[in-house]
């Protein structure tokens, strides 16, 4: 009898979803609570935003969240391997490009939450929704780079005084040397950019295989004076806690979304959807803002709005997840030519 | 008549289990080593590269191999870098290990047992944990040791030491490998007959001359085996090439396999990863054959025997203080400084010692672990996988040893070789092979702790060898007596052989357990949310910018395995007797 009851609720939940569900309706919440927990594969920074989101979500719904943190490519590979091995473990994942890779493999569920967000924050094909912006600029150690001497343009980075004092992540992504190559290509065009890379390669930029966040941590620690292609809001967060760090308005920075999707065959699909729902709700988006992240919700204000390019004084190069995934291999190839 | 019938029936009963169990064991060994490696070769011959070998659309192709040959990086970067790394590490490791072993085994150095324990202890600690400490200490700019040295010498700029360089990588790897070689060279020195040295001393040769003209030449064959073994072990390293070698732009082959599995975009290039494994697999097995020859040759030299009755220890005299200082320096760099660094980092994060007041210490990382399900799961997984895989390789190693030494099972020689060959298979290749196999078999093992148990258990060589030497020492007459008294095969094994072999099997289990506990390469390739183990979690936390949590977990792990040091010591000293 109970089994039939359960079947019925999930059927109701299914019907509700099929009929264009709206934000966190009762059936979804109930189905999610029955699942009791959810595994989230994320590229977000754990102590900055993952833990506060989990705390808020758990408080509201009592659903346990477990996470694995890795970069976008690695998450896509883990998920794809798990699907091929017959055991998908994540019920929700985010990242900049993971969903595009998996979409092509038919491994993403077609679902977006019924959130109160502008249309451009949803995948036109219906596979993802954006949660926050990523804006990649250089970050500097303000003890090592005195005010007024910070590099403001790509050319400034060629100054011999920065030789051996810069670092970047080299796991291909927007927040890595490969993303920096993309920024320069967009700004200068290929011919000029290549001439620039040739000179930049002489600057002996340190290769780190860590997240953009940790590149910045090493800049804060004084290991490097400049971290290239870090996330500007990470510098903001650390600076507001008193760390000797700042970000530089080098233009154009890459602007992209972190987007969320549900993998096909997710073990806790409802709890996964509820988490997405929560993260794009005004409540969830406020947690992003308080943490110093860059939420997308129009009603939520940022702690420092100047972090997002306004198109006037601060112009960025926006790339959708699809565009980003299409461009990244080419950037990586050029990156390897000059810097590997 | 009746008696004969009974005997016949017994024989029949005997035959079934006596044949079934060894046959199962043999099949399992083949399943753990042979099948994944066959899959590896097969996958290298299938394409397109990002397809699994049995996926729809996959077909036979030489593209992966062609791509391997066509890639100039193999000859210009990967091979030279790998060779420099291996040669440098082997030279430095052997020098360090020999110096340490000679001081502790052949001289009248005070506190030899304590030194022995201190030198061997870091062997229990997962490599990423030590690597994290060295990065904090010897990072070229912010490294605490460098800041200290710069202040001391009035230097500016970066350095003077740079962990992120080929020499930094070699130094770190040598310190990680040194205890392992130290144990073997110690054993060789311990077994050395003192007669020749005594004769030299009687003839009036100085200590140095004796060492140069007698000790070294006599030991050479005994040293060859550990040197080849450390070559093999260095060759398969993945942890430090990943953590330290990448910023140093060192292209070690194991790392290249990893990048094929984690490409710049899209899905893994399984085929290309398998193709690049092949030459290195061949190289590994080739070195193993060399090792086999060297050990066999070494036995012909009778100067190293089990009869080291009363070895004369060299009086260090005025060299005693420098020798002690040398050992202190080694232990400081290899064990003490990394440990203190981890403890400091766990409380103060990146803040360098001296720069902050002690009251700024933040024990939060330790407290947070209590409520963190990921940490508990990783702990549970680590213990579970280490226990199960150690049980499996011990049981299987024992069984293979029995098959080889006691049975007439057809193909037992091949089984022996297969088990021995596992020593030449780099962990990164074992992980890859198991991955490709279980991705092609969608039975839900990928992503669970079971795939780790399976992948770890390819290392059958050590337990087989230990069990074999144990078996050799047990005469058949006890088993024959049991047979004569009518005991069935299984009963004989359970009641006679296994109790006699228990101490050997116990040591084999302990060795396998320790190896599994600190394993990083295989779980790093195969991890998911469900089967995360502590060494991987520690590295992930560090990589994701949580140095305090990462270091705190490292400290806790070291604290938990400290008792293991005493177990290890007991094991090594018992074998000494």
**Tokens 């972190």, residue located:** A258
Is the CB of B52 inside 8 Å of chain A's CB atoms? yes
Is the CB of B374 inside 8 Å of chain A's CB atoms? yes
CA distances A314 to A253, A306, A307, Å, are 9, 8, 9
Q: Are B396 and B405 in contact (CB under 8 A)?
A: no
B139 vs chain A: nearest CA distance in angstroms?
Answer: 7
Residues A223 and A148 in one domain: yes
The answer to whether residue A223 is domain-embedded is: yes
pTM for the complete prediction?
0.84
pLDDT along chain A (340 residues), means of 10: 42 40 75 95 91 95 91 88 90 93 93 92 96 96 93 96 93 92 95 97 89 89 92 94 94 94 96 97 96 95 92 90 92 92
CA distances B150 to B138, B155, B156, Å, are 12, 5, 6
The domain spanning residue A24 has which CATH number?
A: 3.40.190.10
Q: Hey, are the CB atoms on B442 and A85 less than 8 Å from each other?
A: yes
**Tokens 């098959």, residue located:** B403
Neighboring chain A residues of B547 at a CB cutoff of 8 Å: 217
Residues A150 and A273 in one domain: no
pLDDT number for residue A208: 85
Dihedral sign computed on CA atoms, order B71, A72, B438, A111: negative
Residues A31 and A142 in one domain: no
The C-alpha atoms of residue B519 and residue B203 are separated, in whole angstroms, by: 51
pLDDT number for residue B2: 59
CA distances B259 to A205, A328, B264, Å, are 20, 16, 8
Could you tell me which of B398, B411, B412 has the C-alpha nearest to residue B460? B398
Could you tell me which of B528, B525, B536 has the C-alpha nearest to residue B259? B525
Pairing status of strand A92-95 against strand A254-261: antiparallel
Residues A198 and A92 in one domain: no
Tally Cβ neighbours within 10 Å of residue B286: 12
3-state helix, strand, coil in chain B (%, to 5): 75, 0, 25
Q: What is the 3-state secondary structure (H, E, C) of B458-517?
A: CCCHHHHHHHHHHHHCCCCHHHHHHHHCCCCHHHHHHHHHHHHHHHHHHHHHHHHHHHHH
Residues A108 and A23 in one domain: yes
The C-alpha atoms of residue A77 and residue A81 are separated, in whole angstroms, by: 6
Residues A187 and A329 in one domain: yes
Is the CB of B249 inside 8 Å of chain A's CB atoms? yes
Residue A24 dihedral angles phi and psi, to the nearest 5°: 40, 55
The residues facing A230 across adjacent strands are: A137
* Chain A CA closest to residue B437: A85
Q: Hey, are the CB atoms on A67 and B374 less than 8 Å from each other?
A: yes
The answer to whether residue A333 is domain-embedded is: yes
The C-alpha atoms of residue B349 and residue A241 are separated, in whole angstroms, by: 14
Neighboring chain A residues of B159 at a CB cutoff of 8 Å: none
**Fold held by B1-45+368-544:** MetI-like fold (1.10.3720)
**Tokens 């309706």, residue located:** A25
Percent of chain B beyond pLDDT 70? 92
A260 vs chain B: nearest CA distance in angstroms?
Answer: 18
* Chain A CA closest to residue B255: A209
* Chain A CA closest to residue B135: A223
A177 vs chain B: nearest CA distance in angstroms?
Answer: 12
Q: Are A269 and A110 in contact (CB under 8 A)?
A: no
Could you tell me which of B159, B164, B156, B160 has the C-alpha nearest to residue B134? B164
Residues A9 and A98 in one domain: yes
Residues A84 and A140 in one domain: no
Is the CB of B376 inside 8 Å of chain A's CB atoms? no
Chain A and chain B share a number of CB contacts under 8 A equal to 129
Is the CB of B267 inside 8 Å of chain A's CB atoms? yes
Q: Give chain A's domain count.
A: 2
Name the DSSP class of B571. Answer: H
Could you tell me which of B384, B272, B305 has the C-alpha nearest to residue B45? B272
B360 vs chain A: nearest CA distance in angstroms?
Answer: 14
Q: Are B161 and B145 in contact (CB under 8 A)?
A: yes
Query: Which of A74, A208, A332 comes nearest B247 by C-beta?
Result: A208
What are the helix and strand counts (H, E) for chain A? 12, 10
Could you tell me which of A299, A315, A203 has the C-alpha nearest to residue A252? A315
Mutation for A interface: B43, B263, B545, most A CBs within 10 A? B545
Joined together, the tokens standing for residue A285 give 């988006």
Q: Hey, are the CB atoms on B446 and A86 less than 8 Å from each other?
A: yes
The residues facing A64 across adjacent strands are: A37
Q: Are B93 and B226 in contact (CB under 8 A)?
A: no
pLDDT number for residue B215: 75
Q: Hey, are the CB atoms on A206 and B164 less than 8 Å from each other?
A: yes
CA A130 to chain centre: 9
Terminal-to-terminal C-alpha distance of chain B: 52
Q: What is chain B's pLDDT, residue by residue, as a tens digit (577 residues)?
A: 556 665 555 555 556 777 888 889 889 999 999 899 999 999 999 988 888 888 888 889 998 899 888 888 888 888 899 999 999 999 999 999 999 998 988 888 888 888 888 898 888 899 999 999 998 898 887 788 888 888 888 877 777 888 989 999 999 999 999 998 998 888 888 777 677 777 877 888 887 788 788 777 777 777 787 888 888 889 889 999 988 887 777 888 888 888 888 887 778 889 999 998 998 889 888 888 888 777 776 555 544 444 445 566 777 888 889 999 999 999 999 999 999 999 999 998 877 777 677 777 788 888 878 778 889 999 999 999 999 999 999 999 999 999 988 888 888 888 988 898 888 888 999 999 999 999 988 788 998 999 999 999 999 988 898 888 888 888 888 888 888 888 888 888 888 888 888 888 888 898 899 889 999 999 999 998 889 999 999 998 888 778 889 999 999 998 888 777 777 666 666 554 4
Mutation for A interface: B159, B264, B444, B449, most A CBs within 10 A? B264
**Tokens 């050997």, residue located:** B504
**Tokens 């049981």, residue located:** B395
Q: What is the pLDDT of residues B59-94, one digit of tens each?
A: 899 988 998 888 888 888 888 999 999 999 999 999
Tally Cβ neighbours within 10 Å of residue B559: 9
Q: Are A101 and A325 in contact (CB under 8 A)?
A: yes
pLDDT number for residue B504: 85
Query: Which of B247, B529, B544 comes nearest A89 by C-beta?
Result: B529
Residues A47 and A169 in one domain: no
Is the CB of B268 inside 8 Å of chain A's CB atoms? yes
The answer to whether residue A302 is domain-embedded is: no
Q: How many residues does chain B have?
A: 577
Residues A105 and A180 in one domain: no
Pairing status of strand B46-47 against strand B59-60: antiparallel
B542 vs chain A: nearest CA distance in angstroms?
Answer: 8
Joined together, the tokens standing for residue A99 give 């969903």
pLDDT number for residue B11: 55
pLDDT number for residue B353: 77
Residues A208 and A92 in one domain: no
pLDDT number for residue B577: 41
Joined together, the tokens standing for residue A299 give 């009603």
pLDDT number for residue A17: 42
Q: Are B96 and B175 in contact (CB under 8 A)?
A: yes
Cα dihedral A157, A161, A167, A172 in deg (nearest 10): 30
- Give Cβ neighbours of residue A159 (< 8 Å, ≥ 6 apart): A151
Dihedral sign computed on CA atoms, order A9, A11, A13, A15: negative
Q: Are A212 and A196 in contact (CB under 8 A)?
A: no
CA distances A176 to A149, A183, A258, A331, B55, Å, are 24, 11, 16, 11, 33
Joined together, the tokens standing for residue B183 give 């144990």
**Host domain of residue A229:** 134-255+315-339
Joined together, the tokens standing for residue B245 give 């070698």
Query: Which of A101, A208, A216 comes nearest B266 by C-beta?
Result: A101
Residues A66 and A214 in one domain: no
CA B457 to chain centre: 13
Is the CB of B543 inside 8 Å of chain A's CB atoms? yes
pLDDT number for residue B91: 96
Residue A122 dihedral angles phi and psi, to the nearest 5°: -110, 150
- Give Cβ neighbours of residue A327 (< 8 Å, ≥ 6 apart): A182, A319
Residue A324 dihedral angles phi and psi, to the nearest 5°: -60, -45
pLDDT number for residue A211: 81
Name the DSSP class of B302. Answer: T
Neighboring chain A residues of B435 at a CB cutoff of 8 Å: 81
């Amino acid at each position: 009898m109970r089994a039939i009851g359960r079947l019925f609720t999930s059927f109701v939940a299914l019907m509700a979803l099929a009929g264009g569900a709206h934000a966190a309706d009762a059936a979804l919440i109930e189905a999610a609570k029955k699942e009791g927990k959810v595994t989230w594969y994320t590229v977000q920074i754990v102590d900055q935003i993952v833990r506060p989101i989990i705390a808020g979500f758990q408080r509201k719904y009592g659903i346990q969240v477990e996470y694995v943190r890795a970069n976008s490519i690695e998450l896509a590979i883990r998920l794809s391997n798990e699907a091929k091995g017959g055991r998908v473990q994540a019920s929700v994942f985010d990242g900049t490009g993971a969903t595009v890779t998996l979409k092509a493999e038919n491994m993403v569920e077609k679902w977006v939450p019924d959130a109160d967000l502008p249309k451009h924050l949803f995948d036109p094909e219906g596979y993802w929704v954006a949660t926050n912006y990523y804006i990649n600029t250089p970050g500097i150690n303000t003890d090592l780079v005195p005010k007024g001497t910070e590099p403001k343009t790509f050319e400034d980075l060629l100054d011999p005084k920065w030789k051996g004092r810069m670092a970047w992540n080299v796991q291909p992504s927007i927040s890595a040397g490969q993303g920096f190559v993309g920024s320069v290509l967009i700004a200068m065009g290929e011919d000029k950019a290549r001439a620039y890379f040739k000179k930049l390669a002489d600057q002996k930029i340190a290769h780190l295989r860590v997240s953009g966040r940790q590149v910045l941590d090493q800049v804060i620690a004084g290991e490097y004076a400049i971290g290239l292609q870090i996330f500007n809001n990470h510098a903001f967060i650390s600076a507001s806690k008193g760390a000797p760090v700042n970000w530089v308005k080098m233009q154009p920075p890459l602007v992209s979304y972190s987007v969320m999707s549900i993998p096909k065959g997710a073990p806790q699909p409802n709890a996964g959807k509820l988490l997405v729902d929560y993260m794009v709700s005004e409540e969830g988006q406020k947690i992003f803002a308080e943490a110093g992240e860059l939420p997308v919700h129009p009603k939520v204000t940022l702690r420092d709005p100047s972090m997002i390019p306004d198109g006037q004084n601060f112009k960025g190069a926006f790339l959708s997840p699809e565009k980003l995934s299409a461009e990244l291999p080419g950037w990586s190839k050029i990156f390897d030519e000059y810097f590997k | 008549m009746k008696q004969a019938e009974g005997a016949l029936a017994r024989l029949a009963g005997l035959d079934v289990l006596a044949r079934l169990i060894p046959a199962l064991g043999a099949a399992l060994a083949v399943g753990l080593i042979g099948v994944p490696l066959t899959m590896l070769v097969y996958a290298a011959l299938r394409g397109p590269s990002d397809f699994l070998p049995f996926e729809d659309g996959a077909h036979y192709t030489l593209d992966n191999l062609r791509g391997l040959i066509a890639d100039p990086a193999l000859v210009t970067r990967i091979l030279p870098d790998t060779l420099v790394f291996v040669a440098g590490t082997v030279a430095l490791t052997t020098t360090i290990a020999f110096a340490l072993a000679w001081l502790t085994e052949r001289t009248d150095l005070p506190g030899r047992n304590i030194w022995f324990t201190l030198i061997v202890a870091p062997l229990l600690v997962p490599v990423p944990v030590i690597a994290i400490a060295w990065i904090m200490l010897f990072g070229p700019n912010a490294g605490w040791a460098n800041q200290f040295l710069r202040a001391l010498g009035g230097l500016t700029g970066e350095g003077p030491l740079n962990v992120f360089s080929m020499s930094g990588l070699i130094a770190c790897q040598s310190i990680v490998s040194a205890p392992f070689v130290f144990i073997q060279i110690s054993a060789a020195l311990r077994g050395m007959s003192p007669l020749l040295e005594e004769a030299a001393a009687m003839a009036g040769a100085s200590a140095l001359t004796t060492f140069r003209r007698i000790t070294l030449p006599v030991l050479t064959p005994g040293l060859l085996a550990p040197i080849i073994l450390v070559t093999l072990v260095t060759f398969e390293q993945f942890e430090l090439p990943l953590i330290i070698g990448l910023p140093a732009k060192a292209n070690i082959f194991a790392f290249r396999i990893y990048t094929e599995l984690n490409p710049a975009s899209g899905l893994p290039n399984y085929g290309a990863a398998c193709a690049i494994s092949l030459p290195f697999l061949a190289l590994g097995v080739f070195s193993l054959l060399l090792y086999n020859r060297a050990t066999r040759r070494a036995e012909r030299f009778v100067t190293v025997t089990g009869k080291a009755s009363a070895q004369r220890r060299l009086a260090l005299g005025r060299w005693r203080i420098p020798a002690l200082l040398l050992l202190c320096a080694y232990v400081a760099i290899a064990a003490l400084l990394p440990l203190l660094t981890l403890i400091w980092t766990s409380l103060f994060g990146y803040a360098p010692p001296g720069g902050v007041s002690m009251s700024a210490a933040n024990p939060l990382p330790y407290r947070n672990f209590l409520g963190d399900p990921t940490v508990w799961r990783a702990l549970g997984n680590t213990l579970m996988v280490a226990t199960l895989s150690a049980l499996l390789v011990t049981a299987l190693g024992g069984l293979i040893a029995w098959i080889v030494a006691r049975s007439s099972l057809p193909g037992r020689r091949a089984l022996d070789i297969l088990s021995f060959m596992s020593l030449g298979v780099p962990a990164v290749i074992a992980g890859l092979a198991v991955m490709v196999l279980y991705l092609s078999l969608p039975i839900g093992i990928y992503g669970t702790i079971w795939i780790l148990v399976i992948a770890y258990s390819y290392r059958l060589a050590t337990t087989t060898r230990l069990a074999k030497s144990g078996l050799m020492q047990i005469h058949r007459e006890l088993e024959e007596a049991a047979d004569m008294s009518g005991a069935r095969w299984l009963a004989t094994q359970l009641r006679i052989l296994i109790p006699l072999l228990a101490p050997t099997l116990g040591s084999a289990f302990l060795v396998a357990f320790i190896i599994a506990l600190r394993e990083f390469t295989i779980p790093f390739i195969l991890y998911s949310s469900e089967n995360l183990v502590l060494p991987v979690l520690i590295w992930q936390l560090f990589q994701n910018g949580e140095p305090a949590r990462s270091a705190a977990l490292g400290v806790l792990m070291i604290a938990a395995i400290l008792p293991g040091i005493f177990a290890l010591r007991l094991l090594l000293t018992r074998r000494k007797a």
